[in-house]
């Protein structure tokens, strides 16, 4: 954001004088020109990831969270991923592997990766992301990975490459919107010797918890993606 | 586990000579006395957490995953938690905050915490866990926390203590099995000035992805817990 | 609908000359002025009920269907209901009990019932509906009912009236949007000697079944209402 | 059941002297030899259908209820069905179409139909069921049906037969356990000119509604079947 003389944030609740906030504390309450109150919050990694994900809207915090637990991604992890997409999953994983790990992210579409490079830079996470261009179906150049994520339209075509890139017994996760993709993927993973293969979906429901009148929200997201997990073995 | 002369693992698939595995590689396939094949996998943090959680069976990877994303727990985070319980949530968070962060875990029941201390030691995570005994309703002794987790029967009684312990704008999460608890908690959080309060539940469904005959599994877990999230503000 | 000289139906797909359809067959395809094709279908009882329900949008076919099976409503059934509301549930039940049964529907708000009377008339179902005004909490005037439906804000206040109106062992169903209502209702039903009490919720998910790319719809209804069922006993 | 000198019902709660119940009223409470109380209830159509369905366990009241509402099955309806299976769906529909309607049920497996014939007889519903043997893929012999139900492994092979049997604009429903079946079925229905085609699934969750501690049940049925609906048109 280029500095302007008098930075103002225009919202549907009125205008906010941003310059007056500099040096202030997170969690503070400020008043807009229309007299509404706003609270200044530091964006969480969830906020940042959700903002990046807007274009494709496939990966949600619920899905990312389960993937991170099942893959065991944490400080020091070396993780491989394709495709980069908007970089939302990349950003979350970079956030988790710092300060000593690395996310190797491949994409066949350089135009998508350009936007992701900028987003990751803006988040200050570039030190933990290595961008690589190329067709993952023909193999990754990285080896000995602790975990891997597939988020492409034809993940079954990348299972062999993933197997070569992973450490023995390492876990992979794949994100597929359709049952047909999950079907083909699971068959290919079994062929390549992956075990503990499971496909799941997560449904998140908001609850309106109010004293004496608690009920689930009337509208919910019905589907984001199926998540398939598996562990690499040495055979067959 | 104490070393024995001839360590054998008895399973329903036959007996496995464990001594023959020493020095072997993860992902390798071994054969039992009954001729069945087993694959040797390194336990993931999910495996370890699920094994610890067995007694209470409330917190599941799906819930923990979403909590970690929403709380932004990662390397270096300082996190506060009560109760310790079996230590399953503690272990996952310790795994994520290493090598420079810390999990401060409080429990009013020392007998529960003893088991958790041993579990955390066995997992080699003790360096990132500080166990504290005491009644969280009367206040935590730690301050400036990046995030907090409440997993007690009366979380509304601990909201004020949590507020005092958290950094400005930091996020908290609470785990409650019943709608009534979520109701009381949300009201108290609003009273204490928390914002961005939301309560959700996650339903995980297994999918039997098989070529030409894909269907969801016939049985699923219908409920684990409601998750409530919020951000601390300076007011009121 | 008043007859007009040249009845035309204006839709977002173009204008349809309705007069040309008179005497035609259901299932026929017609062409609009914009060249789009429309199929002429006879409205089902579901279409009619959903159109009536629009104002309140609480009771859905999924809920009504389960209720009708659990209450066993069919030809000849004598069913009692409060409140009448838009008459959507009334209409479905009238449809099912003809030609020898009767739906007795009570409402404390005459303005709501006026609209329902007209709707039921328009559907030609008036012979199977008896409208009664009055406060159900003070008792129903009908007795020996085969089944009963409660769709009011305070169903627990009407449980005793319902018990008096039902035949021995007859089933009742109640529709409540909140968990708090279900809680109070179930306690009262147990107090009044109802057995086989159960509360359920139904989640309906649309599936986009398309060759090679099948997936659930992205948006779904997250909540309509909790349904509580029970059977009357002679005690306590 | 053959009459015995002293009919006793042995349950896990003790023995019940059935002869003492003859002439008693439904809803009455009786005491077993072990001192436990039982309530005598008249079986509902749901109880009967669920008991019949035990062998195959695919069709549940939630699914049947939605189907009946969407098909508009009621007194006087003429409904066609294949396969007969255990006769559970048949029984529910016969219950609904009496006294002037008819259910025409086809099955290619006479052994299944024999059991269904006996079940329907025992329920006193034989007057409203016409059993027909034969391969529905080669056509139904009945015409002008108000509604139709397909519950076979290859429903797409029967769509043309169904179209011929239905009245113009009449609705059909099909029950398929897998997404692959739903996919093929929907494509075939579109080919045969059916409109308003939709596939849904219903998830039923039990709620433990208890004062101050309400929560969903921990275990639920994760999948019964996908339901596909459509309306016949004259084209193509």
Query: Residue B217 belongs to a domain with what CATH number?
Result: 3.40.50.150
| Collapsed DSSP state (helix, strand, coil) of residue C181 | helix
Nearest CA among C27, C30, C39 for reference residue D167: C27
CA distance D138 to A133: 56
Kindly state whether residues B53 and B111 are assigned to the same domain.
yes
Report the residue of chain A nearest B181, measured CA to CA.
A209
Report the residue of chain C nearest A212, measured CA to CA.
C180
Burial, C130: exposed, middle or buried (Cβ in 10 Å; 0-12, 13-18, 19+)?
Answer: middle
Both tokens assigned to A33: 């020109």
Mean pLDDT, range A143-148, rounded to an integer: 98
State which H helix or E strand residue D129 sits in.
Answer: strand D129-133
Please report residues of C whose CB lies closer than 8 A to that of A201: 216
Taking only residues 143 to 202 of chain A, the set having a beta carbon closer than 8 angstroms to any beta carbon of chain B reads 167-169, 171, 179-180, 182-187, 195-196, 198-202
**Residue A120 backbone dihedrals phi, psi, to 5 degrees:** -65, -40
Kindly state whether residues D152 and D217 are assigned to the same domain.
yes
Kindly state whether residues C74 and C173 are assigned to the same domain.
yes
Kindly state whether residues C149 and C227 are assigned to the same domain.
yes
Q: In the 8-state DSSP scheme, what is residue D150?
A: E
Task: Say if the Cβ atoms of A184 and B211 lie within 8 Å.
Answer: yes
Q: Provide the angle, in degrees to the nearest 10, between the axes of the packed helices D110-122 and D88-97.
A: 40
Characterize C203-230 residue by residue with b for buried, 16 or more Cβ atoms within 10 angstroms of its Cβ, and e for exposed: bbbbbbbeeeebbbeeebbbbbbbbbbb
Kindly state whether residues B76 and B166 are assigned to the same domain.
yes
Predicted local distance difference test score (pLDDT) of residue A28: 83
Domain count, chain B: 2
Closest CB from C178, C212, C218 relative to A215 = C178
Q: Which of the four pLDDT bands, split at 50, 70 and 90, describes residue C50?
A: confident
Nearest CA among C112, C92, C94 for reference residue C103: C94
Q: What is the DSSP secondary-structure string of B166-207?
A: EEEEEEEEEEESSHHHHHHHHHHHHHTT-EEEEEEEEEEEEE
- The mean pLDDT of chain A is 90
Characterize B102-138 residue by residue with b for buried, 16 or more Cβ atoms within 10 angstroms of its Cβ, and e for exposed: bbbbbbbeeebbeebbebbeebebeebbebbeeebbe
Closest CB from A61, A201, A207 relative to B226 = A207
Closest CB from D212, D215, D223 relative to B218 = D223
Residue pair D80/D148 in contact (Cβ under 8 Å)? The answer is: yes
Please report, in angstroms and rounded to a whole number, the separation of the first and last CA atoms in chain D: 53
Predicted local distance difference test score (pLDDT) of residue A107: 94
Task: Say if the Cβ atoms of A28 and B234 lie within 8 Å.
Answer: yes
Tell me the residue range of the domain where A210 lies: 45-231
Predicted local distance difference test score (pLDDT) of residue C78: 98
Q: Which range among B28-32, B145-149, D204-208 shows the weakest confidence by mean pLDDT?
A: B28-32
Kindly state whether residues A74 and A31 are assigned to the same domain.
no
Kindly state whether residues D103 and D210 are assigned to the same domain.
yes
Nearest CA among A70, A61, A59 for reference residue A198: A70
State which H helix or E strand residue C61 sits in.
Answer: helix C61-71
pLDDT digits (tens, 9 = 90+) for B197-224: 999 999 999 999 999 999 999 999 999 9
Burial, C187: exposed, middle or buried (Cβ in 10 Å; 0-12, 13-18, 19+)?
Answer: middle
Residue pair C111/C49 in contact (Cβ under 8 Å)? The answer is: no
Kindly state whether residues C159 and C189 are assigned to the same domain.
yes
Q: What ipTM, to 2 d.p.? A: 0.91
Please check whether residue A2 lies inside any domain of the structure. no
Kindly state whether residues B165 and B134 are assigned to the same domain.
yes
Predicted local distance difference test score (pLDDT) of residue B6: 62
Please check whether residue A3 lies inside any domain of the structure. no
Mean pLDDT, range C108-136, rounded to an integer: 92
Kindly state whether residues C24 and C77 are assigned to the same domain.
no
Q: In the 8-state DSSP scheme, what is residue B85?
A: T
Task: Say if the Cβ atoms of B198 and A204 lie within 8 Å.
Answer: no
Q: Which range among B103-112, D45-54, D131-140 shows the weakest confidence by mean pLDDT?
A: D45-54
């Amino acid at each position: 954001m280029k500095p302007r003389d008098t930075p103002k944030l225009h919202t549907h609740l009125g205008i906010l004088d941003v310059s007056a906030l500099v040096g202030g504390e997170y969690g503070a309450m400020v008043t807009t020109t229309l007299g509404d109150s706003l609270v200044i919050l530091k964006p969480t990694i969830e906020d940042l990831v959700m903002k990046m994900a807007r274009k494709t809207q496939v990966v949600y915090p619920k899905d990312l969270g389960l993937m991170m637990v099942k893959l065991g991604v944490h400080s020091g992890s070396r993780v491989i991923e394709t495709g980069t997409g908007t970089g939302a999953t990349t950003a979350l994983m970079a956030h988790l592997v710092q300060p000593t790990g690395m996310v190797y992210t491949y994409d066949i579409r350089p135009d998508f990766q350009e936007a992701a490079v900028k987003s990751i830079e803006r988040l200050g996470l570039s030190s933990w992301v290595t961008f690589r261009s190329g067709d993952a179906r023909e193999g990754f150049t990285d080896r000995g990975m602790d975990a891997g994520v597939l988020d492409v339209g034809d993940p079954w075509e990348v299972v062999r490459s993933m197997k070569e890139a992973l450490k023995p017994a390492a876990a992979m996760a794949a994100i597929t919107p359709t049952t047909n993709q999950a079907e083909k993927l699971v068959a290919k993973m079994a062929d390549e010797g992956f075990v503990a293969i499971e496909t799941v979906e997560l449904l998140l429901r908001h609850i309106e918890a109010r004293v004496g009148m608690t009920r689930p929200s009337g509208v919910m997201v019905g589907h984001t993606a199926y998540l398939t997990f598996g562990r690499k073995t040495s055979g067959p």
